[in-house]
Amino acid sequence: MKMSNFNFFYDFPEEQKVLAYNSRTSALALMEKENFKSLDNYIENPSASNLDDTLMQDLKRGGFILEDNIDELELLKYGLLSRRYSDKHLGLTIATTLNCNLGCIYCYEKETKKNIKMTKQIQESIINMVASKAKNLDSMDVTWYGGEPLLDMDVIRNLSNEFIQICKENDVKYTASIITNGFKLNRQIAEELREYHVEMAQVTIDGPQQIHDSRRPLIGGQPTFITILNNIKQVSDLIHISLRINTDDTNKEDLNGLLDILESIDLKKKIHVHLGQVRSTNDCYATNNCLTTRDFTNLTYKFDKRANERGFLTNFYNYPTPSGPYCTADSLNSFVIDPEGYVYNCWTEIGDKNCSSSNLVNDNFQGNVDLKLNYMLYDPTVNNKCSSCKILPICMGGCPNLRINNNEDACSEFKYNLERKINDFANFVISQNKREQMI
């Protein structure tokens, strides 16, 4: 027997025990300190140890110890590849238009904004692609994207009706979400989106009114804060709102002010709040304003903790579990499609034809096959840096787009806050159990 390479042991003074976590299996356990010492002794000298049989079985079940012949990196690789190349789930990110009604200061699509409508031909090609894959699918998920997707509801209407019918005929579970700036997300639109199985809308507000309006005005410079906030109030009972607060060095001090506003209009328990990291994608924003992943992770932890204590719905108790593929970019059966039928790996590439792998209606288009292969063939288990990292199972190489662009800041947030997250989650579970025992 041997110890797993992905074990974490933390002192847990609240219970006078040791907190054990395994990042490959996501097992979490409280160990008596005597048992932890026994485990230490067993690893040092297995023949001289008298490790309790029950403890041995518990440790094996959690993946903390394993047979000598088991290669954990090979297990991770197998899991990654089997999910990456699976045809049981289809993920589509569809930009109904690249046009947008806002002029955000950090927008990475500034150079690709076009008032181009998705033609019936492009829509039919997407429908045909879905129909051809449906027989093998268990599930299908669509993210409506842009530009601003609500500027062309006709595309959402037409494609949604077709997708829902295809999935119904083939017994495929269908779900959808939308990423919108929220300016046009009124109650009538939200009611219609619900008919098309759109369950979640990500909407962005960057702080109190003055801060937000300076960062996310309309194209003509007019304010947007009041309209977006009123829309959220109108639709939060119809559709789940995930409120993203894009954060950098220039607005990080204004987060509490936004929470105050949300609480004052009774949105605290009706929406989910989280921070978004602003990056200088496509050189769209001053790099010195952007936070490093380490700094952003620390800021996010403090924000989530504070918001959670105030009663907001947050990611504070987000538990680290094995991942891979990381996102749509390194999944074979996931596609990002723009209004002209160009297909991309990552939505940060949308509109840049140099990054497109193919076009749905133009067989003569010479796509960037090398980029596609870079995404699909990357194996973190043979990367020197990643393969020796203990959080590899919950990161699997980090953001594929950042990695491909040689960004050293591609690692997961858990690289910087794992102990805090595990400790907080354990305390939460213990408190819940105690509460249930009292009832």
Is the pLDDT reported for residue 86 higher than 90? Answer: yes
Segment 212-236 mean pLDDT: 98
Give the residue among 86, 204, 208, 207 at the shortest CA–CA distance from 139.
Answer: 86
CB 214 within 8 A of CB 102: no
Is the pLDDT reported for residue 49 higher than 70? Answer: no
Burial class (CB in 10 A: 0-12, 13-18, 19+), 189: buried
Segment 216-226 mean pLDDT: 97
Distance between CA atoms of residues 246 and 337, nearest Å = 24
Is the pLDDT reported for residue 65 higher than 90? Answer: yes
Q: For 48, phi and psi rounded to 5 degrees? A: -95, -5
Higher-confidence residue of 42 and 75: namely 75
Count of positions (residues) in the chain: 439
Segment 79-93 mean pLDDT: 97
- Token output for 191: 């009611």
CB 353 within 8 A of CB 342: yes
CB 85 within 8 A of CB 135: no
Distance between CA atoms of residues 377 and 399, nearest Å = 14
CB 238 within 8 A of CB 196: no
pLDDT at res. 314: 97
- Token output for 97: 């238009």
Beta-bridge partners for 337: 94, 343
Domains by residue range for the chain, with CATH: 1-69 (no CATH), 81-310 (3.20.20.70)
Is the pLDDT reported for residue 175 higher than 90? Answer: yes
pLDDT at res. 277: 94
The pLDDT tens digits of the residues spanning 152-166 come to 999 999 999 999 999
pLDDT at res. 112: 63
Q: What band does 294 get if pLDDT is binned at 50, 70 and 90?
A: very high
End-to-end CA gap in the chain: 43
Which region holds residue 171: left if phi is over 0, alpha if psi is between -120 and 50, else beta?
Answer: left
pLDDT at res. 438: 66
pLDDT at res. 405: 84
Q: How many Cα atoms are found within 13 Å in the side-chain-facing hemisphere of 424?
A: 17
Which residues touch 99 (CB under 8 Å, ≥6 apart)? 113, 114, 115, 116, 146, 147, 148, 151, 152
| Sole residue written with tokens 């960004």 | 407
- Helices and strands: H and E segment counts in the chain: 15, 14
Distance between CA atoms of residues 134 and 140, nearest Å = 9
- SS3 percent helix, strand, coil of the chain, rounded to 5, is 45, 15, 35
Which range is least confidently modeled, 114-128, 182-196, 422-436? 422-436
The pLDDT tens digits of the residues spanning 260-273 come to 999 999 999 999 99
Which residues touch 310 (CB under 8 Å, ≥6 apart)? 259, 263, 268
**Mean of all residue pLDDT scores within the chain:** 93
CA dist list (Å): 51 to 4, 41, 107, 295, 357: 17, 9, 58, 42, 55
In degrees, to the nearest 5, what angle opens at C-alpha 426 toward C-alphas 425 and 429?
A: 85
Is the pLDDT reported for residue 282 higher than 70? Answer: no
Residue 1: count of CB within 10 angstroms of its CB: 14
Is the pLDDT reported for residue 285 higher than 60? Answer: no
Q: How many Cα atoms are found within 13 Å in the side-chain-facing hemisphere of 27?
A: 20
Beta-strand pair 342-344/334-337: antiparallel
Segment 110-121 mean pLDDT: 81
pLDDT at res. 299: 97
Give the residue among 316, 298, 324 at the shortest CA–CA distance from 394.
Answer: 324
pLDDT at res. 345: 95
Q: What band does 184 get if pLDDT is binned at 50, 70 and 90?
A: very high
Q: For 121, phi and psi rounded to 5 degrees? A: -65, -45
Segment 185-214 mean pLDDT: 98
Higher-confidence residue of 155 and 289: namely 155
Instruction: With both helix axes pointing from N to C terminus, report the angle between 187-195 and 153-169 in degrees, rounded to the nearest 10.
Output: 20
- Token output for 159: 């494609």
CB 246 within 8 A of CB 202: no
